[in-house]
Amino acid sequence: MTELFAKLNKVDPNKGLITLQLSTDDIHTLEKYHASGQQQVVSLIASDENGVSAQQRKFAFALLHDIWWSQVGGLWIETPETVKQHFYAMYEYYNSLDFGEFSLSAAKGTKTDTNQFINMLLDYAAAHDISLSVKPLNELEPQEIARWEYRCLMEKMCVVCGKKPSDLHHLEGSRVGIGNNRDKINHIGRKAVQLCRIHHQECHQGEKEFLSKHHINGIKIDEKIALAHGLNIK
C-alpha cells in the first residue's frame, strides 16, 4: 500500500464525485497501479486543520467527569485521569490511531476528532443512563445536534435534559389528526422529538418558540425508531 496526499478541489454531491489535486509523482504512481489492470481501492481521510474549540474541550471534560462521578465502568473508573485515559485509548483503537495520537489539547487536537470523541462519550452515557451536568443541546456543534436528537429517540430520554421517563412527541405537521387511529397510521417519515413531562408541557405552550430556544429540528421517524416505540409502519 502506498500513501498519497492530495488537495481537495471540488465536491459534486449529486454525482458522488470529487476532484483532487495531486503532485506529478503521485499521479504517475496511480497511473502505474492502474496500468496493471487490477481494480484499485482508494482510502480517503479528510484532514481537519481546525483546532479544538474551548467549548468542545470544556464539554468533553464535563462528560468525562460525569462518567467518573457515576462510577459505572470497570477498574478504569478509579480516578478522573484513568477515565480519560480509558476513553482516549478506546477512541484510538476504534479509529485506527496510534497510541497517544488522540488529544483534547488545543495544540494537538482537531475539531472533527473531538466531535467524534464527544459522541462516543454521549453514547456511553446514554447506554448506561448517566446523568449529565450540562445540556448537550447547549454545547454540541450544530451539525452534531441531529445525532443527539436521534439518540434520545432511540434511548427514550428527553432531548433537552436527558431525563427518563419521556415520551415521543410528534411535531406540528406530523401529528396524528383527530379521528385517526394512532395504531393504524403509518408513522414513517413523521418528525418527532423525545421530551420529558416538563419539557413536553413547555413545548405545548408554543412549539415553534420551544424548538428555536433549544436549537431542535426534530427527526424523521425511521423503522428503528418506530420499532423502539412500537409505532405502526404500514
Block residue for cell numbers 496493471: 36
Asked if 27 and 66 sit in the same domain, the reply is no
Under DSSP, the state recorded for 142 is: G
Under DSSP, the state recorded for 133 is: S
Q: Which amino acid is at 43?
A: S
Question: Can you give the pLDDT at residue 18?
Answer: 86
Structural domain count, the chain: 3
Evaluate if residue 175 carries a pLDDT over 70.
no
Three-state DSSP at 152 gives helix
- pLDDT tens for residues 50-94? 788 889 999 999 999 999 999 999 999 999 999 999 999 999 999
CB 80 within 8 A of CB 19: no
Nearest-CA neighbor of 170 among 185, 18, 72? 185
Residue 98 lies in a domain: yes
Asked if 33 and 59 sit in the same domain, the reply is no
Helix/strand/coil percent split, the chain, to 5: 45, 10, 45
Residue 153 lies in a domain: no
How far apart CA 77 and CA 67 sit, in angstroms, is 8
How far apart CA 107 and CA 54 sit, in angstroms, is 12
What residues have CB less than 8 Å from 4, skipping those under 6 apart?
22, 26, 29, 30
Asked if 171 and 222 sit in the same domain, the reply is yes
- 228: which 3 cell numbers? 423502539
Residue 78 lies in a domain: yes
Residue 170 lies in a domain: yes
CB 132 within 8 A of CB 162: yes
Residue 163 lies in a domain: yes
User: What residues make up the domain containing 3?
Assistant: 1-44
Asked if 178 and 219 sit in the same domain, the reply is yes
- Is the pLDDT higher at 179 or at 108? 108
Residue 145 lies in a domain: no
What backbone phi and psi angles, to 5 degrees, belong to 8? -80, 120
**Average of per-residue pLDDT across 34-63:** 76
